[in-house]
Amino acid sequence: MPRVFGCVVGARPNFMKMAPLLRALEKYDDVRTVLIHTGQHYDSQLSDVFFEDLEMRRPDIHLGVGSGTHGRQTALVLEAV
């Protein structure tokens, strides 16, 4: 039975940290990663560039949080997860 890791990205620093971690985890046969994008960068030009430049696969789940205050975005992410 594979171990499943939910990997959440949302802001630029998250993408930069998660890209090498995903690559490392995906080398193991007994590990499955689920890439979750919060969607806080709701404009595709703001987030697509990270997936392309960092050679990350597209997210498995997109929460579509969108813009708002930090508190509102955090609440929506927690509610969705």
Tell me the domains of the chain and their CATH numbers. Answer: 3-80 (3.40.50.2000)
Query: For residue 44, is pLDDT > 80?
Result: no
CB atoms under 10 Å from CB of 1, counted, come to: 5
User: What's the sign of the alpha-carbon dihedral 21, 52, 16, 14?
Assistant: negative
Average per-residue pLDDT for the chain: 88
Residue 62 to residue 77: CA distance in whole angstroms: 10
Q: Is the pTM here over 0.85, yes or no?
A: no
Contact, 51 vs 23, CB < 8 A? no
Amino acid, single-letter form, for residue 79: E
At 39, give phi and psi (nearest 5°). 80, 15
pLDDT (mean) for 36-58: 82
pLDDT-based confidence at residue 34 (cuts at 50, 70, 90): very high
